[in-house]
Structure 1
Amino acid sequence: MSKENRRLIFILGIGFLAALFMVVSSNLVFLENIEYKVTDFKFSRRGIEGEKLEGSQVVIIAIDDQSFAEIPYKYPWPRTYHAKLIENLNKAGAKTITFDILFTEESTIDPAQDDILRDAIAEAGNVVLAGKMDVQVREGFSMVSLLPPIEKLREEAPFGLADTKSDTDGFVRRYILFRDYNENRYFSLGLATLIKHLELEGEYTDWFEETRNGDYVLGGSHLIKKYDTLPSTFINYYGPAYSFKTISFEQVVDDDGFYLLLERDTLKDKIVLVGATVSELHDLFSTPFYIAGGETLTPGVEIHANFIQSVIDQNFISEVNYFVVYVLAFLFALAIAYLIKKSKPWIGVSSAVAIGVVYFFVNIMLFTAANILMNFIAPMGAIGLAFVGCNVYQYFSEEKEKLHIRSVFKHYLAENVVDSVLKDADGLSFGGQRRYLTVVFSDIRAFTTYSEKYTPEEVVSALGEYLTEMVDVILKFGGMLDKFVGDEIMAVFGAPYYMEDHAVRACSTALEMGRSLDRLKEKWAQEGREGFNIGIGINTGDMIVGNLGSEQIFDYTVIGDAVNLGARLEGINKLYQTANKIIISEFTQNEIKDNFVTRELDSVRVKGKKKPVSIFELVGEKDVIVYSEEFLSLYDEGMRLYKNMEWDLAIKEFKKVLKINEDEISNMYIKRCRHFKKKPPARDWDGAFTLTTK
């Protein structure tokens, strides 16, 4: 398996683990609390559903501040007030009256008052009372006991459990439907109210059943959506505190205020819930609308009202199956991991942000538009963890790769070029690419003879000085040191960091190498040591560049015919004794002719190739005078005559060149012209000289 594929699998594994972690840990308290807050935000975004409460069948009678101020008794009030309340509510046409007030103990004022209240309940026949489950913790054990209304009251009316269930953050979001205790089932206060309101009688199994998917059906037609593992439902709050029509307790028991209600039919056929809204009675709770509602606590009686209304309206919150949520978490995490590995960094970041934003808005819209509650934290956490984890891995992998690249290329490239390469190291993966580059070969002339004159230590010292100087020059002009082969140097320009002027840089390097060698020779002469000369060959063309070799052991290098030609040009310096000992091909000439002075040397056909290549001497920079204009003009004319096979005229021109300056190339052409005079070339002669050796 390739290194790239191994990294892809590893980064996908990070994405998988990120999703797995969120799936496994989504039930942790702090993550649950975040999920709860997101749910609260969804309620606030949906807003108050006031239009659904218009014509609501539920009305709240509040034990409020007004009642505390007007009724001349400390709470708990005499139970005759509650009896009066029942009497007046029935006069007003209330269909069902539910007390969210506990009558679990006999009256401390006068036991006879319990009888009065009992009689009022019995006469009304539409009252539901409240009980609760009392939980006491002793020595680490929970003791659960039922606290029902006193016997004389519960003989006349059913009761329901008024308990509320808070989440770990203290907010009430779910509604417990029933509790099984001592082989009996006790329904919640809201459910008991609905049972009374719908006039359901007999065994509860006749009118309360559980469906296959875990939901409940009341009275054959009223669906109640189950939430969580408990027999509970998620309360679909219609709004913050006091969203339901609320009337003061005092107004109902006061005859003047009551008759006003009676005239308006305010309570006719209503479900009336009686409960406390004053803070002194500690029956206030935080709900999802707590923040959106101005941080107002919701009375417990209104929690029951929200549940009852949602059953009547069949307005429940549905929950998306967790399997779907977890699948999405894995898909998101794996997709982000893949994109981070296979795409550019900005694409990975954009994709993660896009997936997160889309999921956020879809999640919110499902709730606000369709009352569908979908887990938010698991997929979003998977997105976040996968993004962070994969980027951290990618960062350290890239840093490790960069350290490796730097450690390798610092010996071949200048520091600034290494930095440029590291900005885009994609081209340094295993394998090659076809690119248009320039290659430089240099070799010491007669190095074997030189070596025989000195001890190995002296040879190594001189070679070290020479190679150091040459490499410094190569790096100075942005070249890459490809390799040393004994005393031969191979350098590449345009890779791994591409430069448009690679041919110009290569030629500048060759000229500077010659000047640096001259300085070294002066130094060695002062030290009593001989120097040596070098030959340089330069070619430009398409080459295969990259990490070539096996996947285990490879080398960053260039190969191809263009490279081979560069090596051949370095070798044929021995045949053409040029002043600078630098030969370039016609392909390099085409790239640098505006920057340097050159002169054509020959047209050669290298061994193994049919097509000839024109070669040139790299004379120098435009502003450096090596040959006079007259010298070059006469030489060019001699070359023209030579190609036209005008041997005598060509000899004449080359001799004029020699009068200006001694020139081995001109001498070579004089000899060739004399040879061709005696043995003329074939009629199809193309002017090329065929090399018989490499």
Structure 2
Amino acid sequence: MNHKIAKGQWTIAIAGSVTTLLALFLCVTHFPLGRHIDHIIYDQFLQKNHTPPVTRVPLIIDIDERSLREAGQWPWPRYQVAFLLKTLQQYEVAAVATDIIFAEPDMSSPINIQRNIKNILGVDIKFSGLPDSLKDNDKLLASNLKTGPFILGFDFITNPDQAKGIDANCELTPINPTIISSPGAIPVHEALPQAVSAICPLPLYSSNAPGAGFITIAADEDAIYRRVPLLFSWEENVYPSLALAALRQAFPEQNVVVKLNERGVQSIRFGNSVIPTDRQGKMLINYRGPSRTFDYISAIDILQRKASPADLKGRIAFIGTSAAGLKDIRPTSLDPGFPGVEVHATIVDNILSGQPVRQPEWAILIELSAVVITGAAITILLMWTNALWLSVPAVILSLGIWFGSSALFTHFHFFASPLYPIFTLVITFTFITAIKYWREEKAKEYIHSAFSHYLAPSVISQIMESPDLLKLEGQEKEVSIQFSDVRDFTSISEKLPPKQVTTLLHDYLTPMTEIITQHNGTLDKFIGDAVMAFWNAPVDVENHQIKSVKAALAQQKELAKLNNIFLESYGITIQAGIGLHSGLVHVGNMGTTELFDYTLIGDNVNLASRIEGLTKFYGLEILVSRSIVTACGDDFLFRFIDKVKVKGKAKPVAVYTVYEHDDVDHRIEEFNLFDKALESYAKGQFAETMELIRKLKTFGTDDVLYSLYEKRCNTLINNPPEVWDGIYQHTKK
């Protein structure tokens, strides 16, 4: 049976390995549903643990609803934009970045109005008193761009289908980052996101502005913006994002460094700030809060010079809009209506504070290690522990994984997803529990089919509820053993036809077996007309000696009732002797690998059989050993019968018969007289014993027993032994 237990544990180990390998595979491949759940977890962590802006560098110049009401609808004339930029320059901002693409000429310029009226209406108009510098708004804006810390926005296109029909007439100035490549690293242009085209500001603008940055950002599959590329590759050149370009303008002494390995981008550094990115150079945005977490100043307040200089000096200003009608809204982890311009401000704050969310490429190693440890731990525990007992620790472990991951996020801005470790725990726990449940059900079916014919229903129920109680492997155990046998069954068989013999035996054995199982006994086997049964195996039976005696008494009472039926049906009655003994035996499955039987072996089994054989010799229905008497105490009335050496045994055995107290109250005088006779017999006073035995025969009971002692005393009187120990030697079974 040890082999079967090992096999069962190997089944659990294999099941745990399979679920762990499945979790590892899903973690590595990062399938769509897993990514979606990871996004949700990331959002939950960010919602719970986000912190306010650390730096006071970025701010928003908001073309809000109020600005549109007071300064006119969008797009504004470029001279108005030029005035806005010039005013910000006068406020001494460190950099101004426009989250707006000026891709087309300003059709409200006087020179363009004059040209359009002439082309359409054929009328040649003149503007008198208008300075030449104000006739062309685009040139006016371009001249302002040349004089200040201005960064223009543009947009890259990565989908070739979307690039069709777009004339990328761009004059963009790329940057030359410092490249640090490890051996075998891929080229920077292969590592970074690739653009196929671009929507750019007018060449007039981009050629005069100090710099430009892309505003390109792609949402995840669930339309939430979480990552932003910091660099793009286009036509073998590298271009910065709007936020990174603004930082370069505000801090010109700081350089951009790209660290590459064989898998792609390892990190990007700006000055002393190391920015953790994925292999494409995309940064996880650590959103500081919902919209308007950063400082907002209405554009109209800048135009009207109502803003405080202290709120602007030395800061990086992003010009954009929060007006719903202009549709620059980006859903984020913290706000479904987050203005796009505030994304750039968040990026600047993350980089300067050194607090972007870190999910480096090796973070997956932490997740994979957690998967392996969790899978191994839960598998090993389930190999040795009941699933019900492990459910609470499993929940605690799941919470520990979750809150451990949350703590990493809170204190170190490090995102290691708890998804796959928890998935491993849940799926392994569920799968192995299901296997164990299936095995238990199969074991119960086996138990029921294997034991239903020779175990009590109450014992079967006990085993079904707790299969671990069942121990079929060989073990040393104290049991109570019963042998019963029909006397002179051979002569009975000769008097009846075979069919009647079979029916008689069935009618006798059926109730005898039922009584055994009703008293929590286990039927071992039928040996012709004999029955072998035992108590206290395969499961423990409390007070098994008492229950074995009760069963024997009940069997003899049932036989008395059966004899009335047998006399009427077959014209005969039968007598059966029952022997009981309790002792240590070897119990378990005995036989070959293919054919075996659950039974007992040992010297005490043979002794129980010998005691049953003595019942016919003494003419008594039941004989029990001293071990039964000692265990039962005063529950029954035990009557000492003899001290003998049975055939094949050198050690003498005391044998007793047993009665219910109420059944023999009228025989107390007789029993006391027999005890007195046995005392004389033990002392070798055979003549006195003979006299007492003859008095006992007058009671008209137990004639066989009394006649036996009468005959034995007569023999001993005629042939006195040299040494007398009171022990009789039996030479027959």
Q: TM (normalized to structure 1)?
A: 0.91
1:117 maps to a residue whose letter is L
Per-residue deviation, 1:661: 2.6
Name the counterpart of 1:123: 147
Q: Distance in 2 between matches of 1:617 and 1:140?
A: 107
CA contact (8 A) 1:15 1:330 kept: no
Per-residue deviation, 1:499: 2.4
Name the counterpart of 2:107: 108
Q: Distance in 2 between matches of 1:656 and 1:182?
A: 130
Name the counterpart of 1:605: 645
Name the counterpart of 2:626: 586
Per-residue deviation, 1:617: 0.7
Moved more, 529-538 or 108-117: 108-117
Q: Distance in 1 between matches of 2:298 and 2:730?
A: 116
Name the counterpart of 1:19: 20
Seen in structure 2, the aligned counterparts of structure 1 residues 522 and 430 have a Cα distance that, compared at 3 Å, is: closer
1:512 counterpart = 2:562: no
Cα deviation, 1:590-611, whole Å, max 9, x if unaligned, reads 2224222221111123344443
1:648 counterpart = 2:687: yes
Question: 1:221 pairs with 272, 275, 281, which one?
Answer: 272
CA contact (8 A) 2:624 2:655 kept: yes
CA contact (8 A) 2:473 2:588 kept: yes
Q: Distance in 2 between matches of 1:559 and 1:251?
A: 103
Question: 2:40 pairs with 23, 37, 41, which one?
Answer: 37
CA contact (8 A) 2:230 2:281 kept: yes
1:70 counterpart = 2:119: no
1:451 maps to a residue whose letter is S
CA contact (8 A) 1:200 1:207 kept: no
CA contact (8 A) 1:215 1:223 kept: no
Per-residue deviation, 1:2: 2.0
Alignment of structure 1 residues 45-60 onto 2, 5 Å: 45-47=48-50, 49-50=51-52, 52-53=53-54, 55-60=55-60
Q: Distance in 2 between matches of 1:14 and 1:595?
A: 53
CA contact (8 A) 1:166 1:172 kept: yes
CA contact (8 A) 1:436 1:542 kept: yes
Q: Distance in 1 between matches of 2:632 and 2:25?
A: 66
Name the counterpart of 1:277: 322
2:42 maps to a residue whose letter is T
Name the counterpart of 1:398: 440
Name the counterpart of 1:133: 156
Q: Distance in 1 between matches of 2:422 and 2:552?
A: 59
1:464 maps to a residue whose letter is H
Name the counterpart of 1:671: 711
Alignment of structure 1 residues 381-530 onto 2, 5 Å: 381-530=423-572
CA contact (8 A) 1:190 1:304 kept: yes
Per-residue deviation, 1:84: 1.7
Name the counterpart of 1:198: 251
Moved more, 624-633 or 486-495: 624-633
Seen in structure 2, the aligned counterparts of structure 1 residues 109 and 272 have a Cα distance that, compared at 3 Å, is: same
Give the superposed CA RMSD: 2.4
Cα deviation, 1:199-219, whole Å, max 9, x if unaligned, reads 169xxxx84321448433435
Name the counterpart of 1:595: 635
Seen in structure 2, the aligned counterparts of structure 1 residues 637 and 22 have a Cα distance that, compared at 3 Å, is: same
Name the counterpart of 2:186: none
Per-residue deviation, 1:554: 2.9
Name the counterpart of 1:178: 231
Question: 1:299 pairs with 331, 339, 352, which one?
Answer: 339
Per-residue deviation, 1:681: 4.1
2:21 maps to a residue whose letter is L
CA contact (8 A) 1:428 1:546 kept: no
Cα deviation, 1:647-690, whole Å, max 9, x if unaligned, reads 2332222222222234322222233333333444454x542223
Q: Distance in 2 between matches of 1:100 and 1:140?
A: 21
Question: What secondary structure sits across from 2:226 in the alignment?
Answer: strand
Cα deviation, 1:482-534, whole Å, max 9, x if unaligned, reads 11122211112222332212222211211221122222221121124323221
Q: Distance in 2 between matches of 1:140 and 1:175?
A: 21
Question: What secondary structure sits across from 1:121 in the alignment?
Answer: helix
Name the counterpart of 2:258: 209
2:324 maps to a residue whose letter is S
Seen in structure 2, the aligned counterparts of structure 1 residues 66 and 543 have a Cα distance that, compared at 3 Å, is: farther
Seen in structure 2, the aligned counterparts of structure 1 residues 691 and 149 have a Cα distance that, compared at 3 Å, is: farther
Q: Distance in 1 between matches of 2:283 and 2:681?
A: 104
Question: What secondary structure sits across from 1:575 in the alignment?
Answer: helix
Name the counterpart of 1:293: none
Moved more, 143-152 or 439-448: 143-152
Per-residue deviation, 1:627: 5.7
Seen in structure 2, the aligned counterparts of structure 1 residues 417 and 681 have a Cα distance that, compared at 3 Å, is: same
CA contact (8 A) 2:588 2:598 kept: yes
Name the counterpart of 2:660: 621
Cα deviation, 1:378-402, whole Å, max 9, x if unaligned, reads 1111111111111111111110111
1:151 maps to a residue whose letter is P
Seen in structure 2, the aligned counterparts of structure 1 residues 401 and 28 have a Cα distance that, compared at 3 Å, is: same
CA contact (8 A) 2:268 2:281 kept: no
Question: What secondary structure sits across from 1:481 in the alignment?
Answer: strand
Question: 1:149 pairs with 201, 206, 213, which one?
Answer: 201
Per-residue deviation, 1:142: 12
CA contact (8 A) 1:99 1:275 kept: yes
CA contact (8 A) 1:340 1:347 kept: no
Q: Distance in 2 between matches of 1:369 and 1:605?
A: 85
Per-residue deviation, 1:438: 1.3
Q: Distance in 2 between matches of 1:350 and 1:372?
A: 28
CA contact (8 A) 2:61 2:317 kept: yes
1:168 maps to a residue whose letter is E
Structure 2 gaps of 5+ residues are 113-135, 167-195
Question: What secondary structure sits across from 1:241 in the alignment?
Answer: coil
Q: Distance in 2 between matches of 1:146 and 1:209?
A: 23
Seen in structure 2, the aligned counterparts of structure 1 residues 40 and 409 have a Cα distance that, compared at 3 Å, is: same
Q: Distance in 2 between matches of 1:682 and 1:119?
A: 145
Name the counterpart of 2:292: 242
Q: TM (normalized to structure 2)?
A: 0.87
Per-residue deviation, 1:635: 0.9
Cα deviation, 1:555-597, whole Å, max 9, x if unaligned, reads 222333332221221112122111xx11111111122242222
Cα deviation, 1:138-191, whole Å, max 9, x if unaligned, reads 599999421111111101222111012211111111111222122222221112
CA contact (8 A) 2:486 2:577 kept: yes
Instruction: Give the percent of matched residue pairs that are identical in Structure 1 and Structure 2.
Output: 28
Name the counterpart of 1:540: 582
CA contact (8 A) 2:469 2:539 kept: no
Aligned residue pair count? 670
Seen in structure 2, the aligned counterparts of structure 1 residues 142 and 544 have a Cα distance that, compared at 3 Å, is: farther
Per-residue deviation, 1:102: 1.4
Q: Distance in 2 between matches of 1:682 and 1:237?
A: 111
1:163 counterpart = 2:164: no
Q: Distance in 2 between matches of 1:693 and 1:630?
A: 32
Structure 1 gaps of 5+ residues are 291-295
Q: Distance in 2 between matches of 1:679 and 1:18?
A: 85
1:341 counterpart = 2:383: yes
Q: Distance in 2 between matches of 1:65 and 1:544?
A: 94
CA contact (8 A) 1:149 1:159 kept: no
Per-residue deviation, 1:355: 2.3
Name the counterpart of 2:176: none
